[in-house]
Copies of this chain bind each other. A is one copy, B any other.
Amino acid sequence: MAETARTPVSRRRPQDDPADPGDRRSRYGNRPTMKDVAARAGVGLKTVSRVVNGEPGVTPDTERRVQEAIDALGFRRNDSARVLRKGRTASIGLVLEDLADPFYGPLSRAVEEVARAHGALLINGSSAEDPEREQELVLALCARRVDGLVVIPAGDDHRYLEPEIAAGVATVFVDRPPGHIDADVVLTDSFGGARDGVAHLIAHGHRRIGFIGDQPRIHTAIERLRGYRAAMADAGIEVDEAWVSLGPTHPERVARAAEAMLAGPDPVTAIFTGNNRVTVTVVRVLAGRPRPVALVGFDDIELADLLSPGVTVVAQDAAQLGRTAAERLFRQLDGASGPPERVELPTRLITRGSGELPPAR
């Protein structure tokens, strides 16, 4: 990569070193190696290694000489080589759906903080909700020999991970369970959260309640729909299937679904939305309507309290989800044994007004 050194910064490799063997042409833009440091300091390779890694058993004088050579050459240990010998890469992979989705920001950050506390770096990637891309990304991370994986699955068959897990790659799934394999998983109680949210609407007098959720192949979408149906059943309300809509969460589809439920002679008087993206779109749809429609959304959204009415939500703690998963991962790496566990985090109903609107007449 020497050809990219387009800066005026001068090369650190001194030309005037008589100890310079002169036969090094590494690919790393001529970076000095431990061998170079050893030659310049007049010591063995292992002594340099000791100094670089702060191992004991080096006289202060020798250490000083080595340190001087390190500084003079601008040496920085190649962790990529170190990793090959040591076996652990001190890095973990995080595969999620979309780095740009605000739901995953706090989750990523939480995973990062735990990784940092364990001295590991985070390699991050988006599956874009594409099972093939998920697999491609996960296997690329395995090829890099990450110590562990935190995966928010897009696909529903993770048997491709079996050899990797057997080979020792610690793995924790988050937000959705893996398919066809047994592994640690950290979830939000989607069923319970949705049931509570819908029950809240029923308690405020609603009976014709719509549900708009994500695609049916996504676990959380199904679970939240189950929660919706359970709450309706508990109240003895028969669900008209015209009130239920699952599908992609892009604004056009969601807006169409909402409009459909609100049209006709017998429109819904309330809507339960299955995630943050759906909620945002439905809020927009409802803002353009004269008659108030009650709304409870799964996931909290920024500024929800400042809208009129404020948006009542079933909040999940994305950061806690990430933290819990990452901590389980490092517990696996620290040698914890036992069967895979399933952790379910509770949700929290936050009432702000939209969920407490009475049914329109």
Contacts and interface: CB of A to CB of B under 8 A. Distances in A.
A294 interface: no
A335 interface: yes
A283 B77 CA distance: 49
A41 B147 CA distance: 29
Contacts of A308: 308
A9 B162 CA distance: 6
B165 A141 contact: no
Contacts of A26: 87
Interface residues on A, range: 35 or more
Interface stretch (A100-108, A197-205, A232-240): A100-108
A260 B74 CA distance: 51
Contacts of A100: 105-106, 108-109, 319
A30 B167 contact: yes
Interface string A30-60: 1100000000000000000000000000000
A145 B78 contact: yes
Nearest to A79: B143
A129 to B, nearest CB: 13
A14 interface: no
B79 A108 contact: no
Interface of A: 1-12, 26-31, 74, 76-81, 83-84, 86-89, 91, 98-102, 104-106, 108-109, 112, 116, 121-126, 139-145, 147, 162-170, 181-183, 280, 283-284, 287, 301-308, 319, 332-333, 335-340
- What is the oligomeric copy number? 2
A123 B123 CA distance: 4
Given A4-B170, A28-B145, A181 B301 contact: no
Contacts of A165: 5, 7, 9
Contacts of A333: 1, 4
A28 B168 contact: yes
A299 B201 CA distance: 35
A181 B9 contact: yes
Contacts of A88: 1, 27
Contacts of A31: 167-168
A122 B121 contact: no
A336 B283 CA distance: 48
Nearest to A159: B9
A190 to B, nearest CB: 22
Counting chain B CB atoms within 10 Å of each CB, the highest count among A306, A332, A335 belongs to A306
A102 B276 CA distance: 14
B102 A181 contact: no
